[in-house]
């Protein structure tokens, strides 16, 4: 179709040369499909993808452009999980979760070991005639309540002292053996106390005191005058649940053992979180150095 005012080519030729060159440069390039783009043919059925070309740059699966675009930008890409492992974040999170879980796990095991004592307490409140039930409510089943409370608290200490749920790698058989051993030691302690009471009632010598953890080790009385089975020394930093004078000899030994076990547990936590702490300290040091270079030593250290 011709132009109303003449031929189009003649019109373009009449333009100023500078303007004509500018229009030619600004003219959009003709679209040419790339080597990997094929024209869509509705009548042609879909074919299976061709094997990847090893000469093409590889990109991570997280890339939105699997055809290799921006491959140079993806060279240094690392998944968040890998970054967490390198910085120690996973280690720190693992320590925090383990610390939270261990208390609940130990208490559940102690409750299982005290199932009979708990059942007796529940039975006290729910059974008997109306007079028995009134008496139980008035006394709050003090005898049964005291027996259960002591069982639960002492079993918890035994489990801690023996390292129950202390490892970061769960071993069901090992944990079960520790739980059973804790229950065994608790009833050995009760049996010894019963024999002492029987000896007092009969006016005879009490049975010899032996360590629950090391039966072969002889007992000794430290300078404070408190007998402790197995000759365990009293740590200066020990903070027992009750004054040692109010505890039985075996309970004193248990407090000391649980204290040492808790200290070892804290060391294990520290070792597990060490990579994270080092990364955190290194990053803080770098921030401090940069802030000092900007604002001076006094303000820089305060800001970082």
pLDDT of residue 60: 60
pLDDT at 174: 93
Give pLDDT, residue 265.
Answer: 84
**What pLDDT score does 87 carry?**
46
Closest CA to 249 of 204, 202, 192, 201: 192
HEC sequence for 16-42: CHHHHHHHHHHCCCCCCCCCCCCCCCC
Is position 123 within any domain? yes
Question: What span, in angstroms and rounded, lies between the C-alpha atoms of 243 and 198?
Answer: 26
**Long-range contacts of range 260-268, CB-CB < 8 Å, 24 or more positions apart?**
260/161, 260/235, 261/160, 261/161, 261/162, 261/163, 261/166, 262/160, 264/163, 264/166, 265/102, 265/163, 265/166, 268/166, 268/168
Answer whether residue 11 is part of any domain.
Answer: no
Tokens of 245: 């004078």
Bridge partners (DSSP) listed for residue 6: 3
Look at residue 221 in the predicted model and tell me its pLDDT: 59
Residue 189's domain comprises 84-277
Q: For residue 64, is it within any domain?
A: no
- Residue 270's CB is within 10 A of a number of other CB atoms, namely 11
Residue 143 counted as domain residue: yes
Does residue 102 sit within a domain? Answer: yes
pLDDT given for residue 57 in this prediction: 56
Chain centroid to CA 113: 26
Residue 71 lies in a domain: no
What's this model's pTM, rounded to 2 decimal places?
Answer: 0.59
In a domain, 70, yes or no: no
- Spans of the chain below 50 pLDDT: 1-6, 8, 37, 42-50, 83-88
Give the SS3 label for residue 221: coil
Q: Is 228 helix (H, G, I), strand (E, B) or coil?
A: strand
Kindly state whether residue 67 falls inside one of the protein's structural domains. Answer: no
Q: What is the number of domains present in the chain?
A: 1
pLDDT for res 34: 53
pLDDT value of position 284: 66
Find, among 176, 173, 170, 169, the residue nearest to 108 by Cα: 176
Q: How confident is the model at residue 2, as a pLDDT?
A: 47
Torsion of CA 38, 39, 42, 43, to 10 degrees: -80
* pLDDT score for 11: 59
């Amino acid at each position: 179709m011709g132009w109303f005012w003449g031929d189009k080519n003649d019109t373009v030729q009449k333009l100023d040369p500078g303007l004509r060159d500018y229009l030619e440069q600004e003219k959009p390039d003709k679209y040419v499909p790339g080597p990997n783009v094929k024209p869509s043919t509705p009548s042609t059925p879909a074919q299976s993808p061709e094997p990847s070309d090893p000469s093409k740059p590889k990109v991570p699966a997280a890339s939105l452009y699997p055809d290799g675009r921006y491959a140079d930008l993806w060279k240094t890409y690392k998944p968040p999980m890998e970054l967490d492992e390198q910085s120690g974040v996973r280690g720190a999170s693992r320590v925090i979760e383990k610390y939270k879980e261990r208390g609940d796990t130990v208490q559940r095991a102690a409750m299982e070991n005290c199932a009979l004592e708990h059942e007796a307490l529940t039975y006290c409140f729910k059974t008997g005639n109306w007079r028995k039930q009134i008496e139980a409510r008035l006394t709050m089943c003090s005898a049964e309540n005291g027996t259960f409370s002591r069982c639960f608290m002492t079993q918890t200490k035994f489990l801690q002292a023996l390292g129950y749920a202390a490892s970061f790698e769960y071993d069901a058989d090992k944990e079960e053996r520790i739980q059973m051993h804790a229950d065994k030691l608790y009833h050995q302690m009760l049996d010894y106390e019963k024999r002492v009471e029987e000896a007092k009632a009969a006016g005879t010598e009490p049975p010899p005191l032996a360590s629950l953890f090391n039966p072969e080790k002889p007992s000794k009385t430290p300078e404070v005058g408190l007998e402790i089975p197995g000759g365990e020394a009293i740590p200066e930093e020990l903070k027992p649940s009750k004054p040692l004078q109010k505890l039985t000899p075996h309970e004193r030994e248990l407090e000391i053992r649980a204290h040492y076990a808790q200290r070892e547990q804290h060391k294990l936590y520290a070792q597990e979180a060490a990579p994270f702490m080092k990364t955190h300290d290194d990053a803080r040091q770098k921030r401090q150095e940069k802030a000092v270079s900007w604002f001076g030593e006094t303000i820089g250290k305060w800001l970082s």
